[in-house]
Amino acid sequence: MGNDVETKLLQIDPKNFSEEALKLGIHLLKIGEVVAFPTETVYGLGASAYSFKGIQKIFQVKGRPMDNPLIVHISSMEMLKDIISISEIPPNVESLCKAFWPGPLTILFPKAKKILSEVTAHLPTMAVRMPNNPITLKLIELTGVPIAAPSANISGSPSPTTAKHVFHDFNGKIPLIIDGGPCPVGVESTVIDLNRDPPLILRPGGLNFEQLRQYLPTLQIYDKMIPNKELQARPCIPGLKYRHYSPSARVILIEFRSHGMENLIIEKLDEMFLQKSRCGYIHTQVDFTLPQQYRNQLGENFIDLTRSDSEIFKEKVHLHAHIAQHLFSALRKLDDQEVEYILICGISEDFEGLAVMNRLNKAASEIL
Ligand code: TXA
Ligand code: MG
């Protein structure tokens, strides 16, 4: 596929925009084109869930296998009720939607007849979410159709959390990217299946287990229920069998543990410096500081995710949210800086730590 279209980057302020600004996006979606848009989790690459041409285009430009279904994005409960019968929304499901939508939660419903079967990869279920971004909610509402959208990245690479990331992957391949600024959550939505007993998290994500558990006391995490080997053979979610979130560099993950991580990092960095490999290090641990000489040697390939300009995230709930928000962007940055290796330490799997570790385990070429 060559560079055959001009990609327009349209900046819109999510806090202050006119419907006029969305005109081009609405038009493109209506004629079966694809449009990239911001959500609170990651950028999405959307097309009308009723347009065969648009859906085909998503799979084609992403290089996504056709058996990996897309999430259907809606702007209101009315839109959901318009496509499936009300009896298919049990009261407990509706109260969950009320609690967490718009937000980073994707729920499986019986597939609506109106939605193309290519969207759900011919599965009897359809994944639905209402994204929490005013631009995108308005875009869906004014287009007047549900929008099917995967993350707006080339299949297999880290998801995009800025419009620049989308431009990097799709310049010349899609007509429009709506730039609504960086995504505040940074990892994709949590996908849950409430038709099973116990209800299951199929993909951990931006809405954490602790929050969901308050509404679903028996909730379990699919990954944790069956051994790893079986998981490979029997993924509950089609996307799980594919390579994911990987930058071009080899990611070396040091598993979370209470002792010895520090020594392993130093050992590994010494080894790489000795071999003269170009390596990057993403710092995720508040409990220790990488000695200055190592930071100097790493230079711009040292990325600290434990702090922002103004604060150090000492509390785990804030630290993990911050790491989730910036993880994909850090992986992409190191890729742009052409490192061969990316070294990163795991974090404990609470709060957003569960989603972060799910992504890191998939991205890693080596786990120590
Ligand atoms: O936050 C998000 O969820 C982002 C934004 C753009 O909304 N979207 C996103 O889409 O992450 P994608 O396509 O990158 O990931 C969707 C995941 C895939 O692993 C897919 O296999 C799974 O959801 N999925 C979709 N429909 C499904 C279904 N009916 N049953 C099981 N898994 C499903
Ligand atoms: Mg994706």
To the nearest 10°, report the CA torsion of 106, 107, 112, 114: -10
DSSP letter for 284, please: -
| Residue 123 Cβ < 6 Å to ligand 1 | yes
Judge whether 305 and 286 are in contact, CB under 8 Å: no
| Residue 195 Cβ < 6 Å to ligand 1 | no
| Residue 132 Cβ < 6 Å to ligand 1 | no
Residue 10 is encoded by which pair of tokens?
Answer: 């349209």
Nearest CA to ligand 1 atom 13: 150
Give the confidence band of 231 by pLDDT, cuts at 50, 70, 90: low
Give the confidence band of 225 by pLDDT, cuts at 50, 70, 90: confident
| Residue 364 Cβ < 6 Å to ligand 1 | no
Residue 140 is encoded by which pair of tokens?
Answer: 């869906």
* Distance from the alpha carbon of residue 293 to the mean position of ligand 1, in angstroms: 42
- Where residue 278 falls (left for φ over 0; alpha for ψ -120 to 50; beta otherwise) is beta
Q: What is the mean pLDDT of residues 70-90?
A: 93
> For residue 336, what pLDDT is reported?
96
Q: What is the mean pLDDT of residues 180-209?
A: 96
* Distance from the alpha carbon of residue 68 to the mean position of ligand 2, in angstroms: 10
Judge whether 187 and 41 are in contact, CB under 8 Å: yes
Q: Is 229's pLDDT higher than 70?
A: no
| Residue 297 Cβ < 6 Å to ligand 1 | no
**Distance (Å, whole) CA 47 – CA 42:** 16
* Distance from the alpha carbon of residue 54 to the mean position of ligand 2, in angstroms: 17
Which positions ≥6 away from 102 have C-beta within 8 Å?
40, 130, 131, 132, 133, 137
Judge whether 44 and 151 are in contact, CB under 8 Å: yes
Q: Is 2's pLDDT higher than 60?
A: no
> For residue 86, what pLDDT is reported?
75
* Strand-by-strand arrangement of the 190-193 sheet: 8-11, 176-179, 35-37, 44-48, 147-149, 71-73, 125-129, 105-110, 190-193, 200-203, 220-221
**Distance (Å, whole) CA 200 – CA 213:** 11
> For residue 230, what pLDDT is reported?
62
Nearest CA to ligand 1 atom 32: 237
More confident residue, 113 or 245: 113
Q: What is the mean pLDDT of residues 102-108?
A: 98
CB neighbour class for 275 (10 Å; exposed up to 12, middle 13-18, buried from 19): exposed
**Distance (Å, whole) CA 165 – CA 328:** 10
Judge whether 44 and 36 are in contact, CB under 8 Å: yes
| Residue 133 Cβ < 6 Å to ligand 1 | no
| Mean pLDDT for the chain overall | 94
**Distance (Å, whole) CA 353 – CA 323:** 8
Judge whether 101 and 192 are in contact, CB under 8 Å: no
Give the side-chain half-sphere CA count within 13 A for 51. 23
Cα distances (angstroms) measured from residue 259 to each of 47, 55, 104:
48, 48, 33
Nearest CA to ligand 1 atom 7: 44
Q: Is 3's pLDDT higher than 60?
A: no
| DSSP state string for 122-183 | T-SEEEEE----HHHHHHHHHHTS-EEE-BSS-TTSPPPSSHHHHHHHHTTT-SEEEE----
| Residue 127 Cβ < 6 Å to ligand 1 | yes
Q: Is 159's pLDDT higher than 60?
A: yes
CB atoms within 10 A of CB 309: 4
Judge whether 166 and 177 are in contact, CB under 8 Å: yes
> For residue 152, what pLDDT is reported?
98
pTM: 0.96
CB neighbour class for 160 (10 Å; exposed up to 12, middle 13-18, buried from 19): buried
Which positions ≥6 away from 356 have C-beta within 8 Å?
187, 320, 323, 324, 327, 347
